[in-house]
Structure 1
Amino acid sequence: MDRATPVDDVSTAGPRIHALDTLRGFALCGILIINIYQQVVFRGAAAGTAGRMPEAVQLLFYERFYPIFSILFGVGFGIFLRRAALRTGRPRLVLARRLVILLVIGLLHFLLHPGEALTAYALAGLLVLLPLSYLGGRVALAVALVLLFIGAQLVVGYGPIPGLLALGYALAMLDVPAALERRTGRVAVAFAVFATLAAAWIALRLRDVAPPFVNVVGGPGGGVSLLGPLAGIATALAYCCGLLLLLRTPIGPGLSALLSPMGRMALTNYLSATVLFLLAGPPLGIDSTGDLPAIIGLTAGIITVQAAWSILWLRRFRYGPAEWAWRCLTWWQRAPIRLPRPGAGAVS
């Protein structure tokens, strides 16, 4: 199951890294496709018409976008920790409260969206990221690789999440996100490597060739192949590097203008998308994988609404509604939300 959640609002102090917002908005669009299949198509299919996701969706979208969110969650955790330390002498206490609040939000969201991942992110943050925050970036990177190798084989869906969160935290501690705009050559090399790995996996799947290496260990359902989760992660990283390269082209400003506001309001958009597809799905008659035009229309409609909503909202406000509430509860004080009007004095 493709479980992902956006985690935003890391601007406790210091400038935002807009490339991360753009990546987050991009991942939000991709995960919406899977959530619609899982929560609308298959929910209806269980009552009558059985079916599987189209092969293109499986190869290009399924479990290809939650790794992006997971890594960004870890990156956000690391950035927040550093910036919170400038504001309080007990930054980990603030982070623990922040994660507990996210857990409550996730439990409430689960009532509408079974299989959502806010709860998993919050629990993994408390159990993995908080202890990891006492380690340096290089040690955290080594721990992340071990967690990825083990978790990817033990638990379907959720298994790689702790390792991916740890990977994101390690990247933040090694200052990788801040260097993204200056490392075009390295991003291009990474894109070539991950895109090649992703293409190789797709070729094997299309030819129904058994993977050359399958490592299965005892776990829920008898264990999990290592190659499947790793192929998803490689594809996700190829998407990330490809988008970062596109941001350096003439179409980059347009992509950023569209996706970055969605990424800044990713938690709000993730939660509201559940309401939108659960309300709009049944009237559209979506109950099987054969309803492809309606599925595409619902996906495109929600993305259009959220893109427009995010742009308009952020013209007047500093944060999305959910991000603002999360921020206020994290610091246990009311944060200013309105942007100052042109010509008005700065908001204190």
Structure 2
Amino acid sequence: MSAGNTALTAAPGSASDPGERIGALDGLRGLAVIGIVPMNVIGFAMPPAAYLNPRAFGGDAPLETALWAISFLVIEDKFRGLFAMMFGAGVAILLGKAADHRLRDHYARMAALLGIALAHAVVLANNDVLRTYAIAGLFLPIVMGWKVRWLVWASAAIMAGQLLVSGWFAWEWIIYWFDRASGALVDSAAHDIAEKLYGHDRDAIAAAIERNGVGLGERIVQRLDELPQQARFVAASLPSSFAAMVLGVALWRSGLLAGRWEATRAFRLARLCAGCALPVLASLAVWAIASGFDPIVTTANALVWSAPFDLVLSVGIAALAMALFGNALQDRPLTARLAATGRMALTNYLATSLLFSALFAGWGLDWFAAVSRGEALVLCLVPISLMLVWSPLWLARFRQGPAEWLWRSSASGRLLPFRRRQRL
């Protein structure tokens, strides 16, 4: 990476030419979409509570605990935050281009993305994140003229506000848990509710297995009926996703995601973020394990207390990847494959859902609740390998991935060129 103007308060648009592709940034985007795979496979393979709580489904073997702990420390929500930061940076790049009707085009892209997201959520994956991105993306133009320092502070303020609100409710639950654990309270009604939602409740697990075993048509009807409930999920995830997007804009404008930071500076940021986040996340993991994965403790840790530190570690991962992809790993074949995977991030994200649905849904092989956490994570190698193999092969013949082409064509209202021109 060149030294360039790497000040944190770099002027708008000074980081790089928005029209040129940055290999390291594409590689980081590829890493982000790959990192989401081990998060999503648990949602496809197991009852919902198992996503947060390894004791909810899959047993209590040491391997299950170790795999959960690794995911909690370095994967869970870190790569979702990274994916959101990449989305924010991508919007900043597009809005930074000199073009007529930039705002109109932006809102058309968000509308088209929302349509794709709703179809994805109804047909394949009700844990779809694209709905949140499309809605949060509507507000990104508001911050595009802000200084980098303001963007960072705005992101921090949003996360602090969310922590204040959600922490208020979570703290009440933690006090309740402590009173029960210390014997000061014997009432178990609230704990039974938490067990049903986030613990090993047999009736809840049996209901999830039954719900997953239906055919595709019936599953679509179920998900259409669940749209109001899903809307609440999307609304709850908006603040953290928007905070990550705003931070992505800041990291682009500062020059980090534009590839203009010195490697030593990027490594220094990565170490700082890891040093701030990992000790807290490790402490939360130890607390959850020591509690016997009590559903109140485990859920509060995963959804509330870890959230700001997840985002800090996402920044550290971004800094580390940009330093490596722009220097030591710049010319490696794997980096080129990651970059191709990143250029087809939307296609690869949707294709992973299709593959996992074929493996775990009732209309597919129906492996739902039939594999352990370890086996589910091994199955992640299938879509990850396919991404790395097919993405460069596809882009050698076509301008972009099929989902990217559909998105951009829908937003522009016309069919855009798809195939690459063949050289004579």
TM-score (norm 1): 0.80
**Partner in structure 2 of residue 194 of structure 1:** 273
Map 1:30-179; keep pairs closer than 5 Å.
Answer: 30-42=35-47, 50-51=56-57, 54-83=68-97, 86-88=98-100, 90-111=101-122, 112-126=124-138, 128-154=139-165, 157-178=237-258
Number of matched residues?
314
Rg comparison, structure with higher value: 2
Distance of 2:300 and 2:281 partners within structure 1: 24
Distance of 1:222 and 1:203 partners within structure 2: 15
Per mean C-alpha deviation after superposition, the further-off stretch among 265-274 and 243-252 is 243-252
Map 1:1-348; keep pairs closer than 5 Å.
Answer: 14-42=19-47, 50-51=56-57, 54-83=68-97, 86-88=98-100, 90-111=101-122, 112-126=124-138, 128-154=139-165, 157-178=237-258, 180-208=259-287, 227-247=305-325, 248-250=327-329, 253-281=332-360, 283=365, 285-287=367-369, 290-293=372-375, 295-343=376-424
Per mean C-alpha deviation after superposition, the further-off stretch among 140-149 and 266-275 is 140-149
Kept in 1: contact 2:121–2:128 (CA 8 A): yes
Distance of 2:345 and 2:38 partners within structure 1: 15
Over 3 Å counting, the alpha-carbon distance change for 1:334 and 1:271 in structure 2 is same
Question: Cα offset for 1:118?
Answer: 0.8
Distance of 1:118 and 1:17 partners within structure 2: 23
Secondary structure at 1:114's aligned position in 2?
Answer: coil
Over 3 Å counting, the alpha-carbon distance change for 1:252 and 1:194 in structure 2 is farther
Question: Cα offset for 1:310?
Answer: 0.7
Q: Which letter maps to 1:245? A: A
Over 3 Å counting, the alpha-carbon distance change for 1:275 and 1:249 in structure 2 is same
Provide, for residues 32-81 of structure 1, a one-character-per-residue CA deviation record: whole Å limited to 9, x for no partner. 111110122225979xx932772222222111111101111111111100
Q: Which runs of 5+ in 2 are unaligned?
A: 1-16, 59-63, 167-235, 290-298
Per mean C-alpha deviation after superposition, the further-off stretch among 273-282 and 138-147 is 138-147
Please, what is the CA RMSD of the aligned residues? 3.0
Question: Cα offset for 1:202?
Answer: 4.1
Distance of 1:239 and 1:71 partners within structure 2: 11
Secondary structure at 2:314's aligned position in 1?
Answer: helix
Over 3 Å counting, the alpha-carbon distance change for 1:20 and 1:222 in structure 2 is closer
Secondary structure at 1:50's aligned position in 2?
Answer: coil
Question: Cα offset for 1:290?
Answer: 2.8
Secondary structure at 1:62's aligned position in 2?
Answer: coil
Q: Which runs of 5+ in 1 are unaligned?
A: 1-11, 211-220, 344-348
Over 3 Å counting, the alpha-carbon distance change for 1:252 and 1:135 in structure 2 is same
Kept in 1: contact 2:77–2:310 (CA 8 A): yes
Provide, for residues 230-249 of structure 1, a one-character-per-residue CA deviation record: whole Å limited to 9, x for no partner. 22112222222222233222
Kept in 2: contact 1:45–1:288 (CA 8 A): no
Distance of 1:158 and 1:115 partners within structure 2: 14
Kept in 1: contact 2:152–2:246 (CA 8 A): yes
Q: Which letter maps to 2:135? A: L
Kept in 2: contact 1:51–1:288 (CA 8 A): no
Per mean C-alpha deviation after superposition, the further-off stretch among 305-314 and 279-288 is 279-288
Question: Cα offset for 1:316?
Answer: 0.5
Over 3 Å counting, the alpha-carbon distance change for 1:71 and 1:261 in structure 2 is same
Per mean C-alpha deviation after superposition, the further-off stretch among 329-338 and 272-281 is 329-338
Distance of 1:209 and 1:271 partners within structure 2: 32
Over 3 Å counting, the alpha-carbon distance change for 1:79 and 1:250 in structure 2 is closer
Which of the pair has the greater relative contact order for Cα pairs under 8 Å at 6+ separation?
2
Question: Cα offset for 1:224?
Answer: 9.1
Secondary structure at 1:76's aligned position in 2?
Answer: helix
Distance of 1:292 and 1:176 partners within structure 2: 35
Over 3 Å counting, the alpha-carbon distance change for 1:60 and 1:252 in structure 2 is farther
Distance of 1:51 and 1:158 partners within structure 2: 28
Over 3 Å counting, the alpha-carbon distance change for 1:164 and 1:115 in structure 2 is same
Kept in 2: contact 1:45–1:287 (CA 8 A): no
Kept in 1: contact 2:273–2:312 (CA 8 A): yes
Kept in 1: contact 2:359–2:367 (CA 8 A): no
Identity %: 26
Provide, for residues 174-193 of structure 1, a one-character-per-residue CA deviation record: whole Å limited to 9, x for no partner. 44422x24421210110111
Secondary structure at 2:47's aligned position in 1?
Answer: helix
Kept in 1: contact 2:45–2:367 (CA 8 A): no
Q: Which letter maps to 2:250? A: A
Question: Cα offset for 1:152?
Answer: 4.1
Per mean C-alpha deviation after superposition, the further-off stretch among 145-154 and 259-268 is 145-154
